[in-house]
Amino acid sequence: MSGLESNQTTIRGSVMIAGGGVGGMQAAIDLADSGFKVHMVQKDSSIGGTMVMLDKTFPTGDCSMCMISPKMVEVGRHPDIKLHTLAEVVSIDGGPGNYRVRVKLQPRYVDAEKCTGCGICEEKCPKKVTSEYEQGLTVRKAIYSLYPQALPNTRAIDRDNCIYFQKGKCKACEKFCPSDAIIWDDSEQDIELNVGAVILSPGLERYDAGMRQELGYGRWPNVVSSIQFERILSASGPFMGEVMRPGDHKHPEKIAWIQCVGSRDSHNANPWCSSVCCMYTTKQAVIAKEHDASIQPTIFYMDIRAFGKDFDKYVNRAKEEYAVRYQRAMISTVREEPGTGNLILRYAEPDGKLVDETFDMVVLSIGFQPHKEAVAFAKTFGIELNEHRFPKTDPFVPVETTRPGIYATGIYQGPKDIPETVMQGSAVAGRAMALLSEARGSETTVIEPPAIKDVKDEEPRIGVFVCHCGINIASVVDIETVVNHAKTLPHVVYAGNNLFTCAQDSQEQMKAIIKEHGINRVVVAACSPKTHEAIFMDTIEECGVNKYLFEMANIRNQDSWVHSATPEVATAKAGELVQGAVARAASLSPLDEKKIPVIQRGLVIGGGVAGMNAALGLADQGFEVVLVEKEADLGGLATRLTATIEGADIKTYLNDLIEKVAGHPKIQVLTDALVTGFTGFKGNFTTEVIVGTGMYERKIEHGVVILATGANEYVPTEYLYGQNQNVMTQIELAERIEQSGAEDLNQVVMIQCIGSRNEGNPNCSRVCCQSAVKNALRIKKLRPEANVYILYRDMRTYGLMEDYYMEARGLGILFFPYDPDNPPAAESAENGVVVSFQDQMTGRQLKVRADVLALSAGMTPEDTEELANILKLARNAEGFFVEAHVKLRPVDMATEGIFICGTAHSPKLISESVSQALAAASRATTILSKTQLTLSAVTAEVEQDRCASCLICVRSCPYGVPRINEDGVSEIDAALCHGCGICACECPAKAIELNWYKDDQIICKIDALLEGAV
Amino acid sequence: MIVADKKPIEEIIEYLKGKQNILILGCNECVTVCEAGGKKEVGVLASALRMYFQNQGEDVKIDEVTLERQCDHEYLEEIRDRVDQYDAVVSLACGVGVQFMAEKYHSTHIYPGVNTCFLGATEERGLWTERCQACGQCILATTGGICPVSRCAKRLLNGPCGGSTTGKCEVKKGDEEIDCGWQLIVDRLQALDRLDEYETLCPVKDWSTDRAGGPRKVIREDLKQ
Amino acid sequence: MRLQYPTNIKVVRVPCTGKVDVLYILHSFEKGADGVYLVGCLEGGCHYNSGNLKARKRVEQARKILDTIGIGGERVRMYNLSSSDGPLFAKYATEMDEKIREMGPNPIKLAKKKKAA
């Protein structure tokens, strides 16, 4: 007993993550990159979650698998992430800092150590089973991997369907397995994990569309769920990306999407909004149309909830460029037309007229709900749930459950889209890091860098790996022709192809091939080096090949995607691109990466809720933070807010937060401070700041930057604002109610989308619908006899906020949709305003005299033009900072070492700002937690014998890096060099070369690409 | 340094008509620094010439070499074993290099690839200005560090002529006005509080060390071997 | 959005257009390219501050040389766009292709053919 007690006082440097979807993966990567050991416990035989099932993602149309695949590989190859699949937590005891978790592992019946993932067993298995991953649209085998790129790729035997297990005969898998990996007597195992913190990211399950019998799912074959439609669209799906009806494999033209199946419906389904369906539906409609131009998509909806960054722009494009029809209507029934397989949808038009319309195919946009076993799951972990069986969390600490040291993230915490899930994945990691900071590095592995073979004097031996990228490439380019062409090229000793070269199994295969053929230079002909180069470089390094002896040919983005209309030409071009890559590969020489020290101090720009949380996120881990605020006081926009929609008191929270920040020994707050200069690179930045009324200059050295410059409420020019004192914004209304109650409010009108979703700002400001509902509810509660009218375009009370919208409707708050082409009008009246608008149900013009007209003003970003110039950061047209990648890098900026959070990124709620702030702190810690960083070897180098000391490099470098040294020749510090190559280009003596882009390495590629032209 | 400017390609093409085997010879000294004749310019000219001749349907071989300097025997020796194969060498060195080449390899046709301009300084990248005319008798000590030989159009040694108005010389370069060298000298001496030196008459200068005295030599017995 | 663009365009990757030596441009024509264009960041938005402005100068330099030797300076162009602007990339590719088709093949190739004939 005493042993256990002493154990509990020890803080452990490890974290268990239950659930291996994209959010769990992000948390795992952040933690592992920041010095913590991660145990990922996944119920399925592979990690991946929902995202691996998706075809494309909105709003960029990026391929989902292409994005998540590299992340999975990163998880799979990280020395400090241990995967436990087919695993479930049985019990947990201990406390924050030291939990003991018992995990039950289901037998896999395949030895992961022996299995190479070749898949022969799967091919030979005679038993066909409905595929869960393909949503029942096709079959898998009884020995299987969840999906082709599964991680781990070790197959598992599905005992319930295995012929041998059920009938005692077969063993085909064992017979054909080349590695002797089948274990028939594999059994359940119990393991114990000792970890400091626990992260819950088990995700949600999808609503069973069959519950809505009137919609005909499961009855009419051409009614599919939205997740089935994802698979139908997917190039690797059951129909290879061809849009077909499951019933008869005919190409549908008219496709209807029915929204809110399983969401916003407390009778048949769930009362909440699932937050993502409006956008994925829009995406499916657009992509379907891209696949087949004859498709006419119609979306039946209640409200289009395109509330995220740039989402409305996407919906507008869907309407304008893809002719997607949005019809506001609830579908009462779906019937099959006898004989045709077509479907007749009955719905009421806005004026109440009933219509029957026939479609070729129907997609039900199903929502999310907690797993059936959510209550038991919560009980196992000892956490409380809310009334909807989501974990109970606080709006100000949205990732903390009711049990300290146990965190909830992703859609498990509440419905959300991929970027928010990724963001929250980082956020939970940040909280866990803060809890366990003293044990950082105590459980991580120290790996010796692999011994790199010296190939300097070897003849180039090039291996070429051509990727099908599913059918992204292979459907256009004839891979075999490309492989055969590659075999004829100089120095090529191996050429082969893979379905997905980036998948874990292919990577392992690649390593084996490299060793077998003594390959010393690698060419991968696949997708973009921007996303995949690093992965392949690491792979080749693992087998002793210097990672710079690598080149990619982008035969997808630069070929199959853009020349799909001319497959033969595309195949020829792929060959030429490979030829260029091979020529370059032959010319490459190994490069060494230098290490530089990290300044373990963070700079946070902006002292609002996001900035302060980010600062605390770092400071609580023991890192010094300098917080720069341009105003005289901390607080930002939140100083004007009173309460959240949940009723949480913002003022008290904010005061506590300011106190914590101001009193934190690791945080230095500079107010009245303006950033005037910025230099350096990830791990080593110097920022110049002018501080205080005295305008004294400060130079801050730091390793990371977190941007949290915030936003303001839009100042309306519409509806008599500023002219009539009874016209005010929602923030002003909340302040007014706070100060003087609602006694004098008999009639209140609110108009939504002021300064949002218009020409000047095409996007939704996300928070205004809930602001309106929040204030309306507050008025109604203080003065039940008051009449509140909300004039809206789409009510966007997404996620669990739908409760409040329903409550508002229940309390008699009146909601009238308006058409933006026929907006409400207002005129001043005695002691108030008269608002007139059209009621769409009756078509009649209504007039309401209001004591207060509240304008739901949108959000405008702080003026950051100068800051953006100084830091060289991109902003979108509306002035919000642009993150590195909208889906998977939502808090990273394109410049490494700079992170973004809060409303500087896009409009958001306080709870969302807090999440993103914690996420930014977590991402920043992946740098700050290291004492040194490895630099890219792509830097400029001077051949000093040839240097004429002309100073042209000194004069042309954008960063002032080159200098003429004591020997009178130019010298370039690799740690400072950004690798642009301008000096190398301008040098008149041709004495400077940019490593990896040396003149001959570029010229030989040009020559190869132009071979035979003259 | 010696400042040179690139010769128009058309002019160089004229020299080379009918040649089959051409060497473009760069110099890694002054002409590199003033971006007229270094390895990079050799490459640019060679590439342009190759294309020109190809376009004319002519087979012309064009090689590129850049020497450390073309005004030293040792460096020029580096091409001795190959220079004979060329029927033309375009030297991108200053006039010194071109001549030294021509003297050393007197059977080879040597052509200049740059126009050698003056001894000057780099004001900024892409702008060079003249500072010295190598007169062989430096008088900068008495003129406040400003040379009347190179800065005065008339090379006057005892103050400005009547053509100096509001600090500008009566001689103009196109539309561009030129500072009066002597005005500059007077201003500088005044600033240095050495205006009395302006009163000292400069005796008649021995121009024999200037180019007027024919090709010059510097002989240093202490260094000779 | 998989926009299509002409198949005859082949991309050589450089870290910044400021790395594009005028020699690369000239060399490409020597090897038979019919046109060369640089695609850089928007002016004022260079990831490396000024690389794209230097590249524009190199393009001008190459144009002058190509005009002088009768290849045609118009065959070299500089385009600026933001990395997210796929449609513009495709538009420029098409525009370049059309421009070059209008000008015809690299005259060196024609001269060679003529000679061989």
Tens digit of each residue's pLDDT (9 = 90 or more) over A69-124: 878 888 988 989 999 999 999 999 999 999 999 999 999 999 988 776 767 799 89
The CATH 3.50.50.60 portion of chain A extends over 1-106+188-204+370-449, 208-369, 597-710+862-933, 713-858
pLDDT-derived band at A825 (thresholds 50, 70, 90) equals: very high
A611 neighbors A667 (Cβ within 8 angstroms): no
C15 touches chain A (CB under 8 A): yes
pLDDT, average across residues A694-722 = 95
Tell me how far CA of residue A1002 lies from CA of A489, A583, A586, in angstroms: 18, 9, 12
Q: Which of A564, A978, A1007 is opposite residue C48, by nearest beta carbon?
A: A978
For the cut 50, the answer to whether the pLDDT of residue A5 exceeds it is no
CB-CB under 8 Å, A989 with B32: yes
Residue A786 has pLDDT above 70, yes or no: yes
Q: Cα separation of A914 and A396, whole Å?
A: 7
Fold adopted by A940-994: Alpha-Beta Plaits (3.30.70)
Q: Nearest-5° angle of CA A501, CA A507, CA A512?
A: 120
| Angle value at C-alpha A917, between A916 and A919, nearest 5 degrees | 60
- pLDDT for position A6: 43
Burial of A924 (0-12, 13-18, 19+ CB in 10 A): buried
* CB-CB neighbors (< 8 A) of A988 in chain B: 32-33, 35, 38-41
| Residue that is written with structure tokens 């399983």 in the block | A262
What is the span of the domain harbouring residue C105? 17-116
Interchain contact A726–C (C-beta under 8 A): no
Nearest chain C alpha carbon to B56 = C111
Percent of chain A scoring above 90 in pLDDT: 82
Average pLDDT, chain B: 94
User: Do the chains contact at B125 and A956, CB–CB below 8 Å?
Assistant: yes
- pLDDT value at position A470? 67
pLDDT on residue A149: 79
Domain architecture of chain B: domains with CATH: 2-118 (3.40.50.2300), 135-213 (no CATH)
The chain B residue lying nearest C61, using CA atoms, is: B44
Q: Is A194 left (phi over 0), alpha (psi -120 to 50) or beta?
A: beta
Q: Which whole number is the average pLDDT over A200-226? A: 95
User: Does residue C98 belong to any structural domain of this protein?
Assistant: yes
φ, ψ for residue C27 (rounded to 5)? -60, -40
pLDDT per residue as tens digits for the range A256-270: 999 999 999 988 889
Shortest alpha-carbon distance between residue B42 and chain A (Å): 10
Strand A667-670, strand A624-628: pairing: parallel
- B143 in the Ramachandran plot: left (φ > 0), alpha (ψ -120 to 50) or beta? alpha
pLDDT digits (tens, 9 = 90+) for A988-1005: 999 999 999 999 999 999
CA A163 to chain centroid: 41
The strand order across the sheet containing A727-729 reads A727-729, A852-857, A747-754, A787-792, A814-817
- pLDDT tier for residue C84 given thresholds of 50, 70 and 90: low
Q: What is the mean pLDDT of chain A?
A: 93
Task: Give chain B's contact residues with A (Cβ, < 8 Å).
Answer: 28-29, 32-33, 35, 38-41, 43, 54, 66, 122, 124-125
Closest CA to A918 of A402, A201, A418, A400: A400
Can you tell me the mean pLDDT for A271-295? 95
Question: Any chain C CB within 8 A of the CB of B136?
Answer: no
Confidence at C1, pLDDT banded by 50, 70, 90: very low
Chains linked to A by 3 or more Cβ pairs within 8 Å: B, C
- Residue B185 CA to residue A48 CA, distance in Å, equals 80
With contacts defined as CB-CB under 8 Å, which chain B residues touch C107? 55
Closest CA to B44 of B123, B96, B114, B122: B114
pLDDT band at C2 (very low <50, low <70, confident <90, very high): low
**Average pLDDT of span B94-123:** 95
Residue A9 has pLDDT above 80, yes or no: no
Q: Which of A564, A980, A1002 sits opposite C18 (nearest CB)?
A: A980
* A688 pLDDT higher than 80: yes
What the block records as the tokens of A271 is 């009362």
Within a domain: C99: yes
Mean pLDDT in residue range A191-211: 96
Q: Quick check: C85 contacting A, CB < 8 Å?
A: no
Q: Which residues of A touch C90 (CB under 8 A)?
A: 562
More confident position, A57 or A427: A427
B165/chain A closest Cα distance in angstroms: 37
Residue A529 to residue C13, Cβ atoms within 8 A: yes
Q: Which of A177-186, A449-458, A886-895, B125-134 has the lowest mean pLDDT?
A: A449-458
ipTM score of complex: 0.98
Distance (Å) from the alpha carbon of C57 to chain B's nearest alpha carbon: 12
What distance in Å separates residue A677's CA from the closest CA in chain B? 25
Average pLDDT over residues A745-764: 94
Is the backbone of residue A94 left (phi > 0), alpha (psi -120 to 50) or beta?
left
Residues of C in contact with A551 (CB under 8 A): none
Residue B161 contacts residue B180 (beta carbons within 8 Å): no
Class of domain A1-106+188-204+370-449: alpha beta
- pLDDT for the residue numbered A116: 67
User: Is residue A7's pLDDT more than 60?
Assistant: no
Burial of A766 (0-12, 13-18, 19+ CB in 10 A): buried
* C4 lies in some domain: no
CATH of domain A597-710+862-933: 3.50.50.60
- The residues, ordered by sequence, that sit 6+ positions from A91 with a Cβ below 8 Å of its Cβ are A101, A102, A380
Question: Which residues of C are less than 8 Å from B54 in CB distance?
Answer: 30, 108, 111-112
CB contacts, 8 Å: C51 with chain A: 958, 980, 982
Is C27 within 8 Å of chain A by CB? Answer: yes
pLDDT at A57: 87
The domain covering A208-369 belongs, at the CATH homologous superfamily level, to FAD/NAD(P)-binding domain (3.50.50.60)
Query: For residue A670, what pLDDT is reported?
Result: 96
Distance, CA of C10 to CA of A656 (rounded, Å): 59
pLDDT of residue A454: 86
Is any Cβ of chain A less than 8 angstroms from the Cβ of C48?
yes
Q: What is the mean pLDDT of residues A56-60?
A: 83
Please report the pLDDT score of residue A2 as a whole number.
Answer: 38
Please give the model's pTM, rounded to 2 decimal places.
Answer: 0.75
Give the nearest partner residue to B29 out of A948, A990, A991, using CB atoms: A948
pLDDT at A503: 73
> A990 vs chain B: nearest CA distance in angstroms?
6
A713-858 has which CATH code?
3.50.50.60
Return the residue in A887, A1006, A1011 with the most chain C beta carbons within 10 A, the one to mutate for interface testing: A1006
Is residue C8 a part of any domain in this protein? no
Nearest to A1006 among C12, C19, C50 (CB): C12
Which chain C residues are Cβ-neighbours of B57 within 8 angstroms? Answer: 111-112, 114-115
Domain A107-185, CATH: 3.30.70
Which of C13, C18, C27 is facing A985, going by the closest CB pair? C18
pLDDT tens digits for range A453-503: 888 789 999 999 999 876 778 889 999 999 999 999 999 999 999 877 877
pLDDT band at A1; cut points 50, 70, 90: very low
Which chains have 3+ CB pairs within 8 A of B?
A, C
Q: Calculate how close chain C gets to A958, using CA atoms only, in Å.
A: 6
Domains: count for chain C: 1
Token representation of residue A156:
């598992």
pLDDT digits (tens, 9 = 90+) for A376-407: 999 999 999 999 999 999 999 999 999 999 99
CATH fold for domain A462-587: Rossmann fold (3.40.50)
Q: Tell me, yes or no, whether C12 lies in a domain.
A: no
Q: What residues of A are in contact with residue B64 (Cβ under 8 Å)?
A: none
- Reference A609, options A767, A732, A728; nearest CA is A767
Mean pLDDT computed over A444-449: 82
B40 interaction partners in chain A (CB closer than 8 Å): 987-990
